[in-house]
Structure 1
């Protein structure tokens, strides 16, 4: 199971929660914030420094999971169509940690947010 963070709209509060399963990747466990505020999710792992690629996904109710952004420690972040750095700024300053912020929270941002890590591979041979 992939660790996840949940942003849920209830009245004027957003709930950001994480699911952990004892794996090498963990996320922010729980965060409450108001509508129009920002919510920042942190992700970390205990794998080696070669696992320096981080992926952030969003799953809205009744929809499939969508990749928001791909981040690394060695290149610019790559945002998928429909997602912007202005709304979803991400940070990746070292191999073990990263974060994703959802700015100006609205009810339509309610959903599950996942972090995943991957090892860099070179297929140039």
Structure 2
């Protein structure tokens, strides 16, 4: 079984600065990758970030209509209300579980097991 030897390239700070300066002067990412044999698709972008030249990075601009913004606000408000309602129900459920536990201890019974097990209807023996 033979091991494949992988070649790792380490770039100097000076080289990174040179590539980023070329990018700043108008060269494209893909051109610089081909020119210098840089394999990683995000390698140059990482260099740009590390050298504090974020203005060279691609930016995502989101364009929305007024109706989309309004709908987004409505959904965010509904989400907030639903989270609050869920939190209230969790607290109420915990309180009821605690009440059942205390009642079981106080009266020496198991209310969950005995719930709904009243007398059987006439003529229908169990």
TMscore range, shorter length = under 0.3
Greater helix share, structure number: 2
Q: Which has the higher contact order (CA 8 A, sep 6+)?
A: 1
Greater strand share, structure number: 1
Normalised by the length of structure 2, the TM-score is 0.19
Rg bigger for which structure? 2
